Chain A
Amino acid sequence: MAGDTVLRLDGVRKSYGVGTPVETEVLHGVDLGLKRGEFCALMGPSGSGKSTLLNVIGLLDRPTAGHIYIDDKDTSGLDEEELTHLRGHAIGFVFQYHYLISAFSALENVMMPMMLERGRADLAMTERASALLDQVGLLPWQDNRATNMSGGQQQRVAIARALALNPSLVLADEPTGNLDTKSASGVFDLMRQVNAKQGTTILMVTHNHDLAARCDRIVELVDGRIVAQAAA
């Protein structure tokens, strides 16, 4: 049985240019915990370290100090291969830009994390990807290439892709940043719906106060330190 806490950060620090005269610490001992099914907004001014924090939580980058626990598993001792495996399984990513792979259709893009994990496509993957596209309202567009879809549709496909392996944590880096108000609201509603129905924990970086207000909690990061945390 998985524990109640999906993500826990203990004194996470991140520095760039370690050992050089220009060593810069971007994160100064961040402590944070996210419960299963929580939808948390991460806010802060530009340059406050939000993206760095997200990269470190997403195991795309290693912290200089501190510990990151995902599903109660300490990630600090994991090697490159184990990190890649855990990242593929436990974490889904949604970026500001969709980053769909243009050589593949919407359906194939959603299948991609499953194919990377299992090596090749199979019927179960196709069914799972179709169901996810149905969930985000894009089943009729499943054979379309990303280049033939609108920005909102592309971001919906990216959300479906992030959910492909049913991760316990989805990290979203300004997922609505490139969208108009209507599309942004639609994408946010979709994420809220996924969060509610599947209990997926979501940590979303946003500059949009209206959207942040619709989250369960708002965490504010300034100069690499969490300065405020409050229920929305």
Chain B
Amino acid sequence: MNKLLPIEWVAALRFLNEGRMQTLFIVGGVAIGVGVIVFMSALLEGMQANIFRRVLTSQPHIVISRPKDVARPLRLPRDGEVIVANVQKRSQIVASVDQWRKVREMMRRRADISAVSPTASGPGFAIRGDASASISLIGIDPEQYIKIVPLPDKLVAGAFRLTTTDIIVGTQLADDLGVRLGDKLRVATATGASDTLTIVGIFDLGSKGVNQRNVYVELATAQNLLNLVGGVSSIDVTVIDPFQAEVVAQQIGNETGLLAESWIKTNNQFFLGLNAQKFSSYLIRVFVGLSVAAGIASVLVVSVVQRSKEIGILRAMGGSRGQILRVFLIQGAVVGLVGSLLGSALGSLLLAAWRLAARNPDGTPMFVITMNYGLFFWAAVLATLTGLIAAVTPAVRAARLDPVAAIRG
């Protein structure tokens, strides 16, 4: 007899050991539940981090630009008056953000912003011999911009070096126009300006559309081509917490009177999808947790019925209701804890198998899954608590048993 453990612990462990088959089944059930939760959580976390990284490393979190031009009626209706007029929407032209340097300084001073980069961008054409393609011309301050979009990491050819005569294009555009590193490419815009630039890099931002459309040039080059000398069309911003981007954007909009659009707003469908995925993952966890709890509770209820005479005799020998209650609560908690430890091991095995199986054709992992040991810890804590809570009803039932009725059976 263990002299260190209190009698409640000894009795709980002995009862679990005696009903070995029952205990094995329920611990197995908990382990499968926890294993699924651990595996699914790590998989979803890895997948989301991967998608998130791909999306957010190819665009700024917030784009600040001048407000849209709107048509203003010359005369507003008076009381009871109706004006029948067809007010046409104004076309939007590429124009500079007013006092953009001042706005940039304001952004740099904010604690919730980690990087600020002015950009001059607008539509244009890339022309190579007889072939041409419409492009989105983006003039950047290379030193600042790489803090927002890590372009050097995205290069598949060349080097990240931008002078006023250089251009970096996407893989798709290079294919479409049949150009390589060092080739010359003529870029023209609607203002009538054009320039011949040297391709110094080819990037892959993970999206065919972006690889086909975006081209990067030095800020001054874009300013000349877009007739924005000394001006910028937008200020790109990266925030510390990407999920706070919309809040920060609204604050910036209110403070500056400019149009500040967050990635959450411009990628609304993606963001909703991400949230729906998170929500469904939580739901699955909750339902798996509930089924685990129901399993533990049902086994303990059966155990209370099976052991009612023993409970009665323990009460007759001076065992208190509290002691009986604790015997069954401990059983629930132990089943939860042991099940969660086995479940964590099972989850790790499944993840290892997934790593081996889920690979790209070139042998690289489809996406990185990190083993989050915090997840194991919380799985153990939550499974133990679930076991404890699941055991409350059977434990109370056991504690309330009338010893006379229990012994008489």
Contacts and interface: CB of A to CB of B under 8 A. Distances in A.
Contacts, number: 78
Given A61-B404, A99-B310, A108-B1, A113 B317 contact: yes
Interface string A89-128: 1000101000101111001100111011101111100100
A120 B3 contact: yes
Interface in A120-151: 120-123, 126
Nearest to B4: A120
Interface string A71-88: 000000000110011011
Contacts of A93: 313, 316-317
Given A103-B14, A120-B7, A95 B317 contact: no
Contacts of B17: 103
B284 to A, nearest CB: 37
Nearest to B316: A93
A104 B2 contact: no
Q: Which of B1, B18, B314, B315 has the most CB of A within 10 A?
A: B1
B386 to A, nearest CB: 25
Contacts of B312: 99
Nearest to A87: B318
Contact of A81 (B1, B314, B320): B320
Contacts of A55: 404
B11 interface: yes
B318 A88 contact: yes
A103 B18 contact: yes
Given A60-B316, A87-B316, A116-B317, A103 B11 contact: yes
Interface of A: 55, 58, 60-61, 80-81, 84-85, 87-89, 93, 95, 99, 101-104, 107-108, 111-113, 115-117, 119-123, 126, 161, 165
> Which 7 interchain pairs have the tightest Cβ spacing?
A88-B318, A103-B14, A103-B18, A115-B7, A99-B313, A113-B317, A121-B1
17 contacts: A60-B403, A61-B404, A84-B320, A93-B313, A99-B407, A102-B310, A104-B14, A108-B1, A113-B318, A115-B10, A116-B7, A120-B5, A120-B7, A121-B7, A121-B10, A123-B3, A161-B317
